[in-house]
Each structure stands twice: as structure tokens, then as C-alpha cells.
Structure 1
């Protein structure tokens, strides 16, 4: 059926989810760019700065992981319209609340509330995509909305240091936090589930529900117990894939400005362009990550094979990051390029690993399974921070060899995705669908 006859309203919905994800990541990464300002405000020396920042990061990840225990279940119970709005309103308030912190403890409390509430974004977003797109388009739609994480990470270094220099670091938290309330207005104007959306044509509704197993009706909100979901190897495949790869993206978000600052002696304002460039490059991975499996499916490949082959290709694309510092010793922009390619590969991987949930599970369980996997991703981030970054970076900062700590970290980044792909392949070779 021709695109004009089908209609395109589902892409309006995708743009709303893209906007929400942009705000989610903008609020999340602001603190990484304010690290030098906070160190000056609270009189942290280099070692105290590394230790306190690691602690603040860890409590965010713990809260995020805990939030995902409940977020998916709440989204499945409330539905996407109310559930997504509630999560965004609460995390926007938490983001503004950072401006009132007066030290490490205050930031820790603010990060806890931010982590708990930001956990709602991806379970809601993946459920929206499952409601609004047929399976063959879901990786593309996921890649597009997930590129919002890149845009948020691009906007932050281009705006936050300027705001901090002009009006002070507190206003950086306030201004970015208030953007979420603009999104809320647009969400309530334009969003409703397909069966209740008057702007949706019948042709597009039928196309959205064109998968063979789709029953052309909205899924019920019957509660699916976690214990039931944990019995399936498909749940564990997704969870382990997230456990090994989510922490790498968080490392880029929270530590990239620090790496560039210390490796190349850049000022806070000089960090803006190279940091933004990494995420500009990575945005191509988000969209391209969804395009490749769609292309393969259109050529006749089974969905699982197209998804799995694409993910393997992306996993190999991360490997060159092991040589980031070696290339950076020749020219800083070579390091920026190779880190950007690795970040692009992560986003391409992410678009597909999220889509495996809707490939394997019915709609009524998608947000819950996404929450389970996200929680494991959060746990991976906590372990990485506690066992590697906090110990490793603080130790090497103390002996004046922080570059060695980053070399070890980049090696971990390079090998994580192939490890995740192998575990997922062993657990569920064909991403088999389940029935509940």
C-alpha cells in the first residue's frame, strides 16, 4: 500500500517520543558539564571531585534501576498516555530540584528522584512504538526516537556551559528542567492510543495492525507477573544484553567531558564542540540502526535474522574504540571520531535490542519486560561505576595517571557488545515469540 494512502500520523507520534527522549537525556547529562563549576562551588580538590562525582553518579544509577522495577508495570497499568505524562512531569520537577542542592548529599537526593522518575521514559516509549507501528517498522521508529538521546547530549554542551557562565550553574538546571512542561502540553494535544485517535485514518490503523498475530484490537491491561516473565529465556536474553551494554553509553554521557578535559587540557567552554561532535556522529547510528534491519526484511530476510545480523555488525563497529587514546595522541579529533563511531554503533545496537522486546512479547507485557531489562542495564551501570570507575579513576587520579584508567575503560567498551550478542544468541537463537 502506498505511503500516501496509508497515512503518516504514526510518525507524528514518533516525533513526540523523540522530543521526550531528548528532554530525558538533556536533564540527565547537565551535571556532567557542570562538574568543574560544582567542584569550585563546593571546594573539591581533584581526588574529592572524582570521588564525589562518582558517588553522585552511582546513586542516580541505583535509583534508575529501582525505578525500572516499577516503571514498566505502572506504564502497562496506566497506559501510555497518562503513564508517560506522569513520568515526564515528575522527572522535570526533579531536574529543577538540582538547583537547590547545597553539596554532595543534596545532589545525591536530587539524583535519586531524577533516576526514579526518568526510568519511565523507555518502557513508555517502547510501548508507544509497539502500539503505533507494525513489527517491520519498529526498529526504525525506535532508532528515530532513540536519537533524541543524542540530540539531548548535543544540546547540553552547546548550551549548559553558556548558561552557567552567564547566569550561574543553578539556572542551567532550572532552564533545562522546565522544557519538560512544554512537552506535556503537546503530548495531551496530539497523543492517544490508535483505537481512540480521531486523527488516524482507517487505512493507517489497519497498516499498524497488519502483523499476522495482531488481533486488530487494543491489548488489555491484564497484569503479567514478573515471576511469569522471568521464566522465559527471552526475558533473560534482553536483560543480559542490557546489563553488558547500557553501562557503556552511561560512561560516555557522564565521563566524556572529563576525559576530554584531562586528556587534552580543554576548558569547560572548549569542551562544547568535541563533546557535541561525538553525539552528532552517534545520531547517524540511531537512525541507521533501524534502517538496516528494515532493508534486510524488505529483501526477504526473517525479522529475527535481520535483527541479529544487524546487531552483530554494530558490535564489531565498537571495537576500534580500544585505540581511541593511541589515535588521539596523533590528533584529538581522531579520538573524537572513533569515540563517535562507537557511540553511533551503541545507538544502532540500542534501537535493535529494544525492538527485540516487541518482537518476542505481546503488547501487554512490553513495558514490563523493557523495565526488567532496563533495571539490569542500571545494575550494570552501578557495577561499572563501583568496581571500575570509582576505584579505577580515583586510584589513577591519585597517582597522576588518569589516562591509564581511561585506557582500561575503553578496552571494556570495545568488548562489551560482542559479549552481549553472544549471550543473547545462546539464549534465544531466533528471538522466538512467546504467548501469555
Structure 2
């Protein structure tokens, strides 16, 4: 799942160049960005603890495959619900308190896993974790809007969003060592304490630029130099009338669940297929998610390179998506891989393809919609992806319980992206922008890149 900074692209018409303010502007805003990066990293560590520990908790607790899928689904259901209301809550209470509420909930939920004793209690803890974590990206995006001029928002968003990949790498490095040394409860308590530590620092240090006493006058002027722009949200009912909305939602619905599968079932697969112990899981998972990080960067770069080479946005975007979909295709054979490292290579290639795909899918929103509609479209797509994740979790649980084989699951994962690309092509064959009823004749589309 993975999440982005909607509407954070550059707008050269209103951007105030740094040179106008001289060399001594200050860098306090980048400290804020570092805190957002840390929060995003922690959120992905927290959500992946269960996945890393799954094969051992399942043996200890006696969970069936369906019961484990129920626990995973609880997180995804809460995440979907949270995406519908998190933005409104954060707007109501402000970034400082809204973000604090979100991370406070997920910190308590993360530590609450240590008290769980069965399916119901784990599901309750996962539901609370998903509800809290759904506020991370809306709050971080709002903080970027408050602290960065428009010309720097895409960069700031890209930096904090990279925490999703960092967290996916840190979790298999940290969690097995803590669990093997102090017990599985300690792994949940440790990551929950990380969240609580961040929350304390956030409440102490975060203020809006106009209320931050440590901010220099020059940097405050630089941040506030651009004129305010209208930020009226486009109603969902209006957006649902456009096939462009359905194209983005379909792309998320069919492919986000594959990423959830990698996060929550991959350690179970490696344990079941190759007999890896708790500490032994670390190296394969780290390699897989390092490849995912590389894919995220390369996938976003490829479309831009193709456009600079003279291809239309339509051909460049879909060409990049096609290549990423083809990178995922060989994962169909992962369940039958003859040795561990071949399986790691196939899955790593697939995670790289997913992240490159996701970078381009999110950029579809700025290809197809004016800036003021991007946040709403991304929210709708995120909801669709979370619902797809709930469905795939149930299907995986039933398949594994009935057959004991990961073969059909990997077959499903390998073909999902090509199928999703076909749906996108049928709905938006030329990537023509949506003609919103109230859209100005001059348009306000942005082609700024976003990442997954």
C-alpha cells in the first residue's frame, strides 16, 4: 500500500525562487521534513511487525490460514475507513494535534499487540493500528503544505514518502533480533515506543511557521511568499461520473492487494517453503525491499525520461507501466523456485515492479485531473486499494487453508498488473484529462511526479 503526496507538484507560475531571498534563508523547514520521514518510517515498521513474526505467531497461537487472514483484514478495513475521514479530522484539529491523535492511536495499538492472546484480540489491535496509521499521509501532506513553498513540496513529499521503503527494510532487520532476544511481545512494545518517542518530540517542537519562534524571519518570508491558492475539494459524486476516476481506482484495486500480500505473507512463505528461522528471515526480506526501493526510483524516472525523448505522456506513462507489469510477471514461478535465492530474486523483481508501477499510477492523477481534484481522487483510489486488500486477504486465507500451496497466490500476483493495465487502457485510451463541470477553460493540470 503503497501511499503519496497528492497535489504536491511544482507550479512554476507562483513559485518564489530561493535566490530572491539570498543565501541565508535557513533550513528549519527541512527539520520538519525529517520528522515526517521518521513518522512514515515508524508507521511501516509498526505495520510490518506482524508480517515478520507471522510464521512463528501462527505456530504458537495455533491460527488457521483463515484466522490469520482475518487479522490482516482487520487492519485493512480500518485503514479504508480511516482514509474516508482522516483528512477531515486533521483539518478540524490542525496538523499538530491531528497528527498527534493519529500517531497516539497507532502507538497504543502497536504496543497493545503485546497483550493479545488470540484471534479476536489481535484483530482488535490491528484494527486500531490501521485506524491510526490512516492519518499519517494526510497529516504529513498538510504539514508539507504549511511548511514548504510550492516549488519545494514535491521534493519534501518524496523525501518523507521514502520512509515507506525504509520502514519495510528496517523491520526485518530489527524485529527478528528483538523477538529472538526478548520475546515476541518485546518486538511490538519496541516499535510502539518508537512511535511514542516521536509523538513527544512532535508535540514539543511542531508549530506552524507563523507560530514557530525558532524560525528565522528570512525563512518565514520565503515560506509565505507565494499567494494563497484556492483549495476547494471536488465532491466525490462529481468525480465518480468520470471514467478517469474509475481507471485510477481500478489500478489501485487490482494491484495494491499484491503489495499487502508481500508485506504480510512473504515471511510465512519463506518460512514454509525454505524453513527459515526468525533471524534468518532478515537478509532475504531486506534484499527484497531494497530492490523495491530501487524500483520506486527507476519507475518514476523512466516515464520522465521517455517524455524527454519525445514520447507523448500517454505512451510514456503506459510504456513505463507496461515494463513494470512485465517485471512482476515472473513472480508466478516463485512458489516453485528450486532454491531460496531464486525465489528472493523473483519476488524482489516483483516488488521493484510494483513500486515503479505505483509511482506511475499515482502520477496518472495529475495527468488526468486538475490539481484541486488530485487529493480527492487519490483518497478514492486508496480506499479502493484497501478494499481490494481486504478481499485478497480473505481469498489468500481460503486458498492456503484449502490447498496449502502458494502457487495460485503467486499466479494471481503475477497477472494482476497486466490485467490492471488493460482496464486502464480501456477506460482512458489516450489519457485525456477529465472535464470537470466547474473546470476553468485554461485548465490547471499539473504533470508533477509523485511516488508511491
Q: TM-score, normalised by structure 1?
A: 0.81
Structure 2: tracts of 5 or more residues without a match: 1-11, 440-452
Q: CA deviation at 1:56?
A: 0.6
Q: For 1:231, what is the secondary structure of its paired residue?
A: coil
- What is the CA–CA distance in structure 1 between the aligned matches of 2:315 and 2:31, rounded to whole Å? 29
- What is the CA–CA distance in structure 2 between the aligned matches of 1:239 and 1:195, rounded to whole Å? 39
- What is the CA–CA distance in structure 1 between the aligned matches of 2:152 and 2:304, rounded to whole Å? 6
How many residue pairs get aligned? The number is 412
The more displaced of 286-295 and 331-340 is 286-295
Structure 2 equivalent of residue 336 of structure 1: 344
Q: 1:142 to 1:256 in 2, by over 3 A?
A: farther
Structure 2 equivalent of residue 249 of structure 1: 259
Structure 1 residue 20 corresponds to structure 2 residue 70:
no
- What is the CA–CA distance in structure 1 between the aligned matches of 2:118 and 2:328, rounded to whole Å? 37
User: Residue by residue, what CA displacement relative to the aligned partner does 1:100-147 show, whole Å, maximum 9, x if unpaired?
Assistant: 212111111111111122122334455666785869984x76655443
Q: For 2:279, what is the secondary structure of its paired residue?
A: coil
- What is the CA–CA distance in structure 2 between the aligned matches of 1:76 and 1:378, rounded to whole Å? 22
Asked if the contact 1:58–1:382 (Cα under 8 Å) also holds between the matched residues in 2, the reply is yes
Q: CA deviation at 1:190?
A: 6.1
- What is the CA–CA distance in structure 2 between the aligned matches of 1:350 and 1:126, rounded to whole Å? 18
Q: CA deviation at 1:390?
A: 1.4
Q: For 1:267, what is the secondary structure of its paired residue?
A: coil
Structure 2 equivalent of residue 287 of structure 1: 297
Asked if the contact 2:176–2:278 (Cα under 8 Å) also holds between the matched residues in 1, the reply is yes
Structure 2 equivalent of residue 212 of structure 1: none
Per residue, is there more helix in 1 or in 2?
1
- What is the CA–CA distance in structure 1 between the aligned matches of 2:93 and 2:266, rounded to whole Å? 37
- What is the CA–CA distance in structure 1 between the aligned matches of 2:292 and 2:328, rounded to whole Å? 12
Structure 1 residue 30 corresponds to structure 2 residue 45:
no
- What is the CA–CA distance in structure 1 between the aligned matches of 2:129 and 2:42, rounded to whole Å? 12
User: Residue by residue, what CA displacement relative to the aligned partner does 1:246-305 show, whole Å, maximum 9, x if unpaired?
Assistant: 000000000000110111111112111111211111111122233233434555656565
Q: TM-score, normalised by structure 2?
A: 0.79
Structure 1 residue 408 corresponds to structure 2 residue 408:
yes
The more displaced of 178-187 and 272-281 is 178-187
Structure 2 equivalent of residue 97 of structure 1: 112
Within 5 A, what are the aligned runs for 1:22-61? 22-39=41-58, 41-42=60-61, 44=62, 48-61=63-76
Structure 1: tracts of 5 or more residues without a match: 210-215
Asked if the contact 2:367–2:431 (Cα under 8 Å) also holds between the matched residues in 1, the reply is no
Structure 1 residue 272 corresponds to structure 2 residue 273:
no
- What is the CA–CA distance in structure 2 between the aligned matches of 1:86 and 1:74, rounded to whole Å? 9
Within 5 A, what are the aligned runs for 1:5-404? 5=19, 15-39=34-58, 41-42=60-61, 44=62, 48-75=63-90, 82-125=97-140, 138=154, 144-184=159-199, 189=205, 192=208, 200=219, 216-220=227-231, 222=232, 224-298=234-308, 306-326=316-336, 328-329=337-338, 331-362=339-370, 364-386=372-394, 388-397=395-404, 402=405
Q: CA deviation at 1:87?
A: 2.1
Q: CA deviation at 1:171?
A: 1.6
The more displaced of 419-428 and 50-59 is 419-428
For the aligned residues, what is the CA RMSD? 3.5
- What is the CA–CA distance in structure 1 between the aligned matches of 2:151 and 2:142, rounded to whole Å? 12
